[in-house]
Chain A
Amino acid sequence: MTASRNEDFNYRLWRYDGAPGELIPLLQSAQDHFGYIPRRAISYISEVTGVPESEVYGVITFYSQFRLQPMGKYVIKACDGTACHVQNSRTIIDTLEDELGVEVNGTTGDGLFTLQTVACLGCCSLAPVLMINDDTHGKLTPQSVRKLVREYRRREESARREDASCARA
């Protein structure tokens, strides 16, 4: 964690004006910033809001959005809502588990992907669908979903190679 990022996080908290009901927005801001909610963020938020740490923890674990572990660079949200389910989303999820080598809620060893399932992304007419970070992909098949993951991997690899050659130059 660099100093500047930490400052930014403190700044957001510093803006907390004592309005009641800000606990969830504060947690969302922490998660936006770190990608998950680290232990020290819980202590910090508890301190500024006066809400006991145990209660903060209770709120975190109640809502499916919050994570206590770091997530991959790309979060894959595979939809298993009703519409996707009747269009065989289970096969898509099985394929993702196989392609990534992790189970649902797992993160790949290289820290690139975290696989999650969600109850509905609201694009049911394109079922089965998934989101990779903020991008939605629809009308998936086992073949297309493998291709998609490999595309992301390839893009990452070529970016890494470019970085390396820049560093050499």
Chain B
Amino acid sequence: MKQVIVGMSTCGLSAGSQKTYDRLAELLAANPGAFELKSSGCIGMCYREPLVEVRENGSRVIYGAVTPELADAIISEHIKGGRALEEHVALRICEGAEIAGAEAPAQRGQVRIVLRNCGLIDPESIEEYEAAGGYRALRKALFEMTPDGIVKEIKDSGLRGRGGAGFPTGLKWSFAASQPAGVKYVVCNADEGDPGAFMDRSVLEGDPHSVIEGMIVCGRAIGASFGYIYCRAEYPMAIKRLTIALDAAREKGYLGTNILGSGFDFDVKIKQGAGAFVCGEETALFQSIEGKRGMPRIRPPFPAEKGLWAKPTNNNNVETYANVPWILVNGAAAYAKYGTEKSRGTKVFALAGKVRNGGLAEVPMGIPIDDLVFKIGGGIKEDRAFKAVQMGGPSGGCIPASLGTTSVDFESIPATGAIMGSGGMVVMDDQTCMVEMARFFLDFTQNESCGKCTFCRIGTLRMLEILTRITQGEGRPEDVPNLLELGAQIKESSLCGLGQTAPNPVLTTIRYFADEYEAHIRDKRCPAGSCLALVDFIIDPEKCTGCTVCAKHCPVNAISGERKKVHVIDTSICAKCGKCITSCAFGAIYKK
């Protein structure tokens, strides 16, 4: 029977997939037995949600932007009539054939290891995960491999931590494994806090068992019998699906005491974060699980020796654990085949910002930035100019378009001054002001600094004050040297990753976009036309209907004009508050 599968992750739901699903359920009720209705996680094409797939005998036709009306047409034409609605097909995947459809170019070049099941299986069904080869790695780890053998396999695969720092995973596991037997913990960092990153959310929502299986394997390797998943409270759907997955795994005997009769015990508990970016730092994360303020502490002792509750602990992020079952089943060599010499395997990226195809992409390490932005991302929205890409969130940096040939791996990206980070990639066009971007990130880190280290607590505030001044047209010639000096000091004198990387967005924008700083400070001009204080507000006479709403909203009476006639802003009075833009129902006011 034909299966109709609706993508029901957060991205799908916010694009309206619930309405589409409800309509399909009605149609199924009206035509009992005509098809089987199911749901799945995110396949990565967030920009074409809601996605609906028609699957039959290994052939998959995926429709994009499916409204309830289009759902009607799919059922009457494709399900009943057997004719696919070609103009709405986003992707067509047939066994033994090249992928086709409008989105095929963006899919070529992707390799799905972490996302192997995302969008393919129902994340709330353990049977579907098993049918896709799930929990085979666990059996192998329990019955065919020694703990040392598992660690060696992970070492040989070349897998490095996907949370950002890129520490070799096998090596990390060997540290915890070598601690004397006793209480040890496996922790999964699912506190994906980088604004602009949503890889882990999609994995947790689309394939929660892969993460759980990776954690059990890790427990077996290091001799731990308990694990925690620390997940942000902002991801309610991920928490719900993880809870369902944990219950199902317990019922099937993959979790609990004497797993599958092997004598090995392991269980996992979910801890919800409470909203603190610094808790992505592992020692702060442990504090938070222990119920305290999430403040980092000095290392050493390292977590492998003294981590959670002062016991040996192994902490990896969601994507790292999701790689583990695949490596055990397919072998280290198969994994190491992908990527570069020092950065093996694949990496999931979250493309967002001014890029056309916003969504997830999993690619072999070493792909050039340009390929991600143009081949997979489909280029810049409205065909504007590609200016820069921001990698690594607030700890990362802005890489200019001129360095677009840079290979994405753990060696090349840090050489630009940015960091790999967890995989968030925010694309910027010529309308994005880089000084304002730097100010935005500093505002974030300044807010999220836990306050323990003076340089991070006060230094970031001073940097923020300077940047705010510059964007308001009150920059001084000494500002840039001061920012550079403060940045260097904060990096030197902070305890944890947050402070050590907080100045990165400022330092990279000064390095690559010095001319924009210059324009703001010397010429009192914002080349991107973004900083309110440095632009003029203008009413487009073509769009203005003379409704007078903007004039009523203007607090300084800078807008004049008669009813039903084009209005004008007196730029000499205008206080540039932006009230007119937000009040105009016709989008007639723009900045220049």
Contacts and interface: CB of A to CB of B under 8 A. Distances in A.
B582 A91 contact: yes
Given A20-B309, A83-B195, A83-B426, A123 B582 contact: no
A44 B45 CA distance: 48
Contacts of B6: none
A127 B352 contact: yes
A129 interface: yes
Given A119-B193, A137-B14, A138-B14, A59 B233 contact: no
A49 to B, nearest CB: 8
Interface stretch (B20-28, B140-148, B273-281, B338-346): B273-281
B290 interface: yes
Nearest to B237: A134
Nearest to A82: B196
B197 A120 contact: yes
A46 interface: no
B291 A64 contact: no
Interface string A50-92: 0100000011001111100000000000001111111100010
Interface string A84-120: 1111000100110010000000000000000000111
> Looking at chain B, what size class is its interface with the partner chain?
35 or more
Nearest to A81: B195
A65 B289 contact: no
B291 A22 contact: yes
B354 interface: yes
Given A65-B233, A83-B426, A95-B582, A59 B293 contact: yes
Contacts of A62: 276, 293-294, 450
B350 A124 contact: yes
A85 B181 CA distance: 49
A149 interface: no
A158 interface: no
Interface in B268-324: 271-277, 288-294, 309
Interface residues of A, number: 47
Contact of A143 (B13, B197, B585): B585
B353 interface: yes
Given A82-B424, A91-B581, A124 B352 contact: yes
A20 B352 CA distance: 40
Given A65-B274, A91-B578, A95-B582, A122 B432 contact: no
Interface of B: 10-11, 13-15, 46-47, 192-198, 201, 233-236, 271-277, 288-294, 309, 350-354, 358-359, 390, 393, 424, 426, 428, 432, 437, 440-441, 444, 448, 450, 553, 578-579, 581-585, 587
Given A64-B276, A86-B432, 10 more contacts: A20-B290, A21-B290, A24-B271, A83-B352, A91-B582, A95-B583, A120-B195, A124-B196, A138-B15, A143-B585
